[in-house]
Structure 1
Amino acid sequence: MIDFRYHLVSIVAIFLALSVGIVLGTSFLEDPAIKATEIFANQLRVSNEEYRDQLEAVQKREAANDAFVTDAAPRLVQNALATESVAIVEAPGVTNAVREGVQDLLVKAGATVTGRVVLDESYVDAAQAALIEKLADDAKPADMTFPADATPYRKVATALADAIVTDDPAQIGKENPVAAGVLDAFEAGGLLTVTGEPAKRAALAVLIAPAEPYTGEGAAQQANALVSMALGLDETGRGVVVAGGPSSATTGGVVAALRDDTAAAEKVSTVDNADKPMGRVVVVYALREQLSGATGQYGIGPGVSGVEPSASPAPTATSGG
């Protein structure tokens, strides 16, 4: 009985000693731990303030650069596209800022913008592919034939391009009499709308990419539908540039899809920073380069050949310039 009590007292004494030790240890460690935490928190606060200041400085510099280029743009592109004509094809999801910025600078470069063909969301909807193919087959000129392996989007691109662009200087500014009903047919089908007079054919075209990349299982097909449009415009006219913002050069973006297609990238130029004044200037330069028979991928994203064309080449003799 005495042994049991002795052991019980010993156990109680041990736990009591541990408790006292924990209390004493916590008391000794409390101040250093708090101080260390306070120092770390203060360092984080200082770092965050520095990062915020750096970000604000970068944003101010970028705004100043944009303002400078905006002011200088008319001089930078003066007469670059004098006597040329350009049709604008607008993908679904284009922002007003990019559309208006590109069109405004084309005019300041001396170009005549014949009009805009604005594609509807349904145009890139895979569920509408059968309708698109039927419209292309029904609306195309009688003498137009499609390759046996042509996709619905390649067919419609060929038919639409034939209605709005031409590589024949004698036909620029004139409607294609055999393609008169193409735009009307697709507009009636709810696949596009028309502003201006794009049927008065232009030599050049700008395809404006969506502000955001496509996502999901159908992303590649949607992006490639617009790549097909760019190729159709290139084959029928004197040149085409696909213009978009940085997102267009990422996975699911139209610019990225075109750059990944080696054959397309050898024919069609792209600009992936057309959301900025500098990029819109490059769109003009890239169109000028297309007239000379050269192609390039420009901007800040993956797959670029440079920020801008190495020089502003003179158009070839077959150009309207």
Structure 2
Amino acid sequence: MINFRYHVVSIIGIFIALAVGVVLGAGPLQSRIHAGVNASSTSTATDPQLSAQAEAEAAGLKALASSTLTGSLTGAKVALVVLPGASDDDVTALRSTLTDAGASVVGRVTLSDNWQSTSMSQYRTTLSTTLASHLSSGAAKTASADGVVGYSIVQVLTSTGSETDLLRQILTDASTPIMTIDEDPAGAATTIVAVGPRAQAVASNGASPAAVSASSDAWVGLAQAVGSTSGVLVGDASTRDAMITSVRASGTAVTTVDSVGTTLAAVDTALALSTPATGARAFGVGNGAQSVIPSAK
């Protein structure tokens, strides 16, 4: 017999499809996503009527989602990893959705540009040799240099002990920090949600603002480690070189959610955590997405 939760998730799927359809002709993909399913975005369409529709669609999606999310993450202990350029508003919205679903957000760290900058690749390679000697994960033994960095970040969030303390000291070293600890989980996290930036804004002259050249190897390395906790990587997949697009193309065994900053992304993240599975899963409406929302079990 098909259970009630299946019906609710199916309804959510239909509602999302309608929300996206409302704005199919409103512009490029990223504008469509932010206008159609995000209640708090400041970059919604300039058309007042379309903006009002977007607000209504997002409010309805949140209301429908609460029916199936409430209590679905009871007992989950989540640590948030904030990537360079991520919006505090997006992190706050995700946190709110996770806690509404019953999860405990036990910690938060913010990664620096040193974690992903191509100019710091050699530094991370050198650093990984030291980090590897303190890692407990067997998978980390064969990981790339950036993978070792990723597993080190996850170990600091999910375990305790003298080796973990050394990893923490290395990663947060004030001279060249890989991360800063905003809220210390004291090793209590059981899963990770990593939050990346939205699509890079384009100036009126068509140029993108100056930014650090980011290494896709760093993205994939962190994704591998997040995947080992059945966690979720949330970000942008609106272009071929976006973070989520690159991770999906790599075939990394991790759950990815695109359209960061939208109600859809927040709902998908909570649903994905409540229905963990092995292998690569891709939810949203961006490049490489397998389905709009996770299927109910």
Shared fold (TM-score, shorter chain, > 0.5): yes
Which of 188, 199, 202 in structure 2 is aligned with 1:212?
A: 199
- Separation in structure 2 between the aligned mates of residue 309 and residue 213 of structure 1, nearest angstrom: 27
- Separation in structure 1 between the aligned mates of residue 46 and residue 157 of structure 2, nearest angstrom: 48
**Inter-CA distance 143–240: structure 2 relative to 1 (3 Å threshold):** closer
Deviation at 1:181, TM superposition (A): 2.1
Deviation at 1:294, TM superposition (A): 6.3
Which of 281, 289, 297 in structure 2 is aligned with 1:296?
A: 281
| Structure 1: runs of 5+ lacking an equivalent | 1-52, 166-173, 314-321
Q: Is the 8 A contact 1:272 1:301 kept in 2?
A: yes
Superposition RMSD in Å: 2.9
Q: Is the 8 A contact 1:213 1:250 kept in 2?
A: no
Which of 256, 274, 277 in structure 2 is aligned with 1:270?
A: 256
**Percent of aligned pairs sharing the same letter:** 20
**Inter-CA distance 137–152: structure 2 relative to 1 (3 Å threshold):** same
Give the match's secondary structure for 1:114.
Answer: strand
Q: Which residue of 2 aligns with 1:260?
A: 249
Q: Which residue of 1 aligns with 2:115?
A: 123
Q: Is the 8 A contact 1:83 1:111 kept in 2?
A: yes
Q: Is the 8 A contact 1:224 1:254 kept in 2?
A: no
Query: Where do residues 111-150 of structure 1 align in structure 2 (5 Å cutoff)?
Result: 111-142=103-134, 147=141, 150=143
Tell me whether 1:182 sits opposite 2:128 in the alignment.
no
Give the match's secondary structure for 1:248.
Answer: coil
Q: Which residue of 2 aligns with 1:197?
A: 184
- Separation in structure 1 between the aligned mates of residue 212 and residue 135 of structure 2, nearest angstrom: 33
Deviation at 1:206, TM superposition (A): 0.9
Query: C-alpha deviations, 1:28-85, integer Å up to 9, x for none?
Result: xxxxxxxxxxxxxxxxxxxxxxxxx994332211111123334555444111110011
**Inter-CA distance 139–116: structure 2 relative to 1 (3 Å threshold):** same
Query: Where do residues 37-186 of structure 1 align in structure 2 (5 Å cutoff)?
Result: 55-71=47-63, 73-142=65-134, 147=141, 150-165=143-158, 175-186=160-171
**Inter-CA distance 242–155: structure 2 relative to 1 (3 Å threshold):** same
Q: Higher relative contact order by CA 8 Å / sep ≥ 6: 1 or 2?
A: 2
Q: Is the 8 A contact 1:135 1:186 kept in 2?
A: no
Query: C-alpha deviations, 1:134-165, integer Å up to 9, x for none?
Result: 333324454658546x4321121122222223
- Separation in structure 2 between the aligned mates of residue 94 and residue 124 of structure 1, nearest angstrom: 13
Query: Where do residues 9-28 of structure 1 align in structure 2 (5 Å cutoff)?
Result: none
What is the letter of the counterpart of residue 180 of structure 2? T
Deviation at 1:208, TM superposition (A): 0.8
| Structure 2: runs of 5+ lacking an equivalent | 1-44, 202-207
How many equivalent pairs are there? 242
Give the match's secondary structure for 2:188.
Answer: coil
What is the letter of the counterpart of residue 250 of structure 1? T
| TM-score, reference length from structure 1 | 0.67
Q: Is the 8 A contact 1:286 1:295 kept in 2?
A: no
What is the letter of the counterpart of residue 309 of structure 1? P
Q: Is the 8 A contact 2:80 2:195 kept in 1?
A: yes
What is the letter of the counterpart of residue 93 of structure 2? G
Give the match's secondary structure for 2:294.
Answer: coil
